[in-house]
Structures are given as C-alpha cells and as structure tokens.
Amino acid sequence: MYSVREVMESRSLAVIGASRDPLKLGSLLLKGLKDTGFQGEIAGVNPRGGEVYGVRLYRSLEEIPFPVELAVILVPPKVVASTLAECASKGVKGVVISSEGFAETGEQGRQYQEEVHAILRSTGIRGFGPNTLGVVNTDTGLATSYFVNEHILKPGSIGVAAQSGIFAGALLRYLTSYKLLRISKVLGLGNKVDVDESDALSYLTDDEQTRIVAMYLEDIRDGRRFVEVAREAVNRKPVLLLKGGRTSAGAQATASHTASMAVDDKVLDGALHQTGVLRMGSIEELIATLIGFQCTPLPLGNRIALVTYSGAQAIMSIDAATEGGLRLADFSEETQARLAGVIATPSKRGNPVDIFPDMMAHGFEKTASEILGALLEDEGVHGIFFISFATPEIEPYRPLVEVIQERPTKPVFFSLLGVREDVETCRVFLEENRIPFYLFPEMAVQVFRHMWRYAQTVNGSLRATWVQD
C-alpha cells in the first residue's frame, strides 16, 4: 500500500473526466494547476480527446505518455470502480474521488462505495473521498480543487484536515485572507473510503512544514487509533479540532452529508482531554486560536494582567478567565512603582490597570507604553490583555508595538472597539506586526486558555520557545 506522503508529494497528475468545456469543473482544475504553478506534469482524460487551456486531453489514462502518480476522478459513481482498475494498471499511487453519490445518498451509493473500498485495498492505491475536493500541497503547488487560489497556495505552517469539501474550500479562502494564516497542506477526507482522520493527522504530525494542525470532522472512524495518533501529534505540535454533529439533530444531518456515524459527544470530550487535542466550539474560535498560536510564545503560567479603559469589558474578561481556570496576576513591587509613575490614582494601579483618566496627564502613548513595558518585565505576569479603543490612525499604537517587539517573552492580545472602519485599520496594523487582535477580549481569554492548556501538555523545554515562523 502506498503512503499518504507519497500521494501528497505527487509530481504528476491526471484529471479523469476532464471536459473540453472550459467552464466545467475538470477544465477549471487544469487551468488552476497551470495558473498557480504546479511543479509537475498534468494531463486530462476525455474519451474524445482534445485540449483545454493548453492542456492535452487523452482518450484514456493509458495513452498518457508519462507516469501518473495522482488521479482526480470526476466520473459518475457507477464507473468509478472500473476507472480505479485503469489507475492500478497505470501505476497510480493515489486518487481523489471528487464524485458525489456514494454512501451519503443511500443503499445504491453505499454499494458503490464498498466496491471502491475493496479495489483500493486490493491494489494499494490510497483514496481520498468520495465527495471531496481533495488535497493541497503548498510546497509543490499541488491542488486538486478549483477553489484553490494564489492566497491559499502561499506556503505556510498550518496543516488542515477536513471532512467537508466545499466548506473546507470556502474556509481556506477566508483563513488565507489573513496574512498571518498560511497553509502547509490540506487533506480533504469526504466519506473516508480509505484515508481517514487518523491517517491525515499522522501525516501532518510527520510533515516538517506543518507546525499547527486544524481539523474539521463529523465523525471518527476508529476512536482508539485516533487517540493514539493524537497523543503523539500533540507532543509535537498543537492540534485544534472542530467537530460537527455535536447534537442529535446535527448528527442526523452529518449522515446525509458524508455518511458519518454519530459519536457520543461526552465520550469524545473525554478522549480528547486525555490526548491534549484542543476542541474548538466554533469556526470563530478556531480562527482566533490559530492566530494566537501563530503570533505569540506559549505562556509560562496562568496568571494574566488586563489593561483597560473600560471597566465593563475588564469585568467580563475576568469572569471568562476565572471560569477557564486562569488567575489575575499580583504585580511585583517594581511593577507597582513603575505604574505609579503614570497612574496617579492608587485604585487604578491594581489588576486590571485602568488607564483613564490618568492618561490625560501623560498622553495615551506614554502611559500605555510604560504600563506594557512594566507588565512584560514582571515574571509574575504570564499574559497581557490590552483593551482600548480603535482609532482612525495607527500612530497611537505604533509605540506599543515597538515595546512588545522589544520584549517578545509572553502573549499579548489587543481588543479594540469603535467605528468599524477604525477597528479594521487597527486590526490590519497589529496583525501585520504579528500581534493578535480580537474585537472582544473574552475571545482573547479563550485563546490564552487554549494556549496555556497546550503549554501544560507539552514538556517544559518547548514552552518558552514555541513561536511560529
């Protein structure tokens, strides 16, 4: 049996079922491979031959004059099995079965899928799908979906495994609209006729380009194996999991989506807790946590400090932190003395630090910079949350960024609220400087909690050195 790695590193690809119509999916895929610079040979297969977007279409797989390592199959379910037999004769290592109409549709589709499974097992070909957009390797420019664009193919360090095809494609487009979030590899699992979540996670664990793993699953095929693989993965890199079908209604919907079987959510939570996999409650939380891991070092403890002009937001953040097992830091005498230099009111020098109205005396930039500098140097503070207002210009925040970059020793999160356009201006500036930005501080607290849990899971030598490239 071929390995997932061999398939992901394929240097030649054939699209079986490629149309001569330039607007059909197979044609658009061939165009995308050319446009995005796939570092290998490509061909299409169409019974009538021809050419589309400058790519030759051969009448059969056998006619292709070069060895084919990966095939994308876009033919009706009833002929997928015979197509796989042709792939075996050609020496194909892996297939992406993009066709729908298998186990997710009923008994006839289930029979088709069982036949495909048997052929894959007997030939050693690795199969992704059915019902998937396939795979992406940003290191080689390999992409088996027309959803992939130039932003997705900019190499990064986030490995993705997802059971949903179009969702994954749309999510990847959104993720990579953030300059901070760049992809290494993508494995679309679909109905998991062969390659499943454990195979994907094992591959991403060993992949040197991947430094953090994000997964979307609707079921887990072999729970015991997944726990074993996940435990090993978490020892080497963070694993973030978003699971669909948590409720009975959601589980019923997954059955018609990817033919997934329900998993008891409490049992899953318990298993994940044993492994150190970080479970995400929403797409928003997944993206926020990816940004946190991408930008900051792991915390060395669970004691946090808040700097704010808004008592209400600080109180809600403290509630979220306390519920998540975090503690408010007690400031050292040196820190208290430095805070007294810019905060005259004693009650406002506690934790949270309230910068208003004392900042009116020294100015926002000097006041905030001095406070951040003091907290960054206080060993009793393990994470900082700066809650303030969004401004139309970035200048008030430039000195703060410089202070943080001079002391990159602990996580610092910004939450700035205001006019939507001003918020976006500040977000872009901070993220360009690799400082996590969140609209509301409660989400930043949740991200810190995930990072602290991961820091507790991995061995101590990694904690102080974890910073993404």
Q: Which CATH number fits domain 132-295: 1.20.210.10, 2.40.30.10, 3.40.50.261, 3.40.1160.10?
A: 3.40.50.261
**Model confidence pLDDT, tens digit, residues 388-408:** 999 999 999 999 999 999 999
Residues 6+ apart with CB under 8 A from 67: 12, 90, 91
Is it true that 132-295 and 298-463 share their CATH fold?
Answer: yes
Answer whether 354's CB lies under 8 Å from 348's CB. Answer: yes
Give the start-to-end residue ranges of the domains of the chain: 1-130, 132-295, 298-463
Burial of 41 (0-12, 13-18, 19+ CB in 10 A): middle
**Model confidence pLDDT, tens digit, residues 69-78:** 999 999 999 9
The reported pTM is 0.90
| Phi (first) and psi of residue 381, to 5 degrees | -105, 125
Predicted pLDDT at 167: 67
- The DSSP call for residue 44 is E
- The DSSP call for residue 331 is P
DSSP 81-144: HHHHHHHHHHT--EEEE----SGGG-HHHHHHHHHHHHHHHHH--EEE-SS---EEETTTTEE-
Q: Which CATH number fits domain 298-463: 3.40.50.261, 1.10.580.10, 3.40.50.300, 3.10.310.10?
A: 3.40.50.261
Give the CATH architecture of domain 1-130: 3-Layer(aba) Sandwich (3.40)
Predicted pLDDT at 3: 98
pLDDT, tens digit only, all 469 positions of the chain: 999 999 999 999 999 999 999 999 899 999 999 888 898 999 999 999 999 999 999 999 999 999 999 999 999 999 999 999 999 999 999 999 998 888 888 899 899 999 999 999 999 999 999 989 899 999 999 999 888 888 899 999 999 999 976 667 788 888 898 889 999 999 999 999 999 999 999 999 999 999 999 999 989 989 899 999 999 999 999 999 999 755 454 444 444 444 444 566 778 888 888 899 999 999 999 999 999 999 999 999 999 999 998 777 888 999 999 999 999 999 999 999 999 999 998 989 999 999 988 888 889 999 999 999 999 999 999 999 999 999 999 999 999 999 999 999 999 999 999 999 999 999 999 999 999 999 999 999 999 999 999 999 986 444 444 444 4
What is the spatial distance between Cα 56 and Cα 259, in angstroms, rounded to a whole number?
36
User: Per DSSP, what are the bridge partners of residue 155?
Assistant: 183
Is 412 strand, coil or helix?
strand
Sign of CA dihedral 383, 387, 392, 393: negative
